[in-house]
Copies of this chain bind each other. A is one copy, B any other.
Amino acid sequence: MSERSQETDSFADVCNQLRNHAYKLTPQRQTILKIFLEQGSGHLSAEEIYQLVKPHYPDIGLATVYRTLDILADLGILQKNDFGDGRSRYEFSRRDEHHHHHLICLRCGSVSEFDDDLLESLETMIAKRNKFKVVDHVLKFYGYCSRCQEELNRDA
């Protein structure tokens, strides 16, 4: 229940952001947005989003998906990630939410998330030490998720 109203709020919210930036509120853009609000957790590629949108809006072009993702990422509504599989992956990023980082499994490719408190102090220290003004950071850990660790032990 609280989930639904939260989703609705987010949707209206993003629509306003688009309007404020003089972007038109086309059905294609709305559909893509809804996909993210419904999925919530996934790290979707452009092609995956394209496939998910098609049932709702069959005439959409892949180029439109790319153009929309660009806009949403520029506005900070989506986070564009590179997990090293050759395509960009997008996830919904609630405003004001401090962005998280990723644990990428080298065996099954699953991606999980973690928040960083410690990284804050590391960032401050490094910025000071190098006279470098940090505006964003990316932290990824590659390794094996717990499930894959078990399966590897079993096979060995």
Do B127 and A114 have beta carbons less than 8 Å apart? no
As for how many copies of this chain the complex holds, the number is 2
Is A137 close to B, CB under 8 A? Answer: yes
Q: Complex formed: what's the CA distance from A75 to B62 in Å?
A: 38
For the complex of A and B, list the 9 residue pairs with the smallest distance between their C-beta atoms, beginning with the closest: A131-B146, A134-B143, A136-B142, A133-B144, A135-B143, A138-B140, A133-B143, A137-B141, A134-B141
Count of residues in A whose CB is under 8 Å from the partner chain: 35
Interface flag for A8 (CB, 8 Å):
no
A16 CB-CB contact with B under 8 Å: no
**Chain A 92-117 interface 0/1 with B at a Cβ cutoff of 8 Å (1 = within):** 00000000000101100000101010
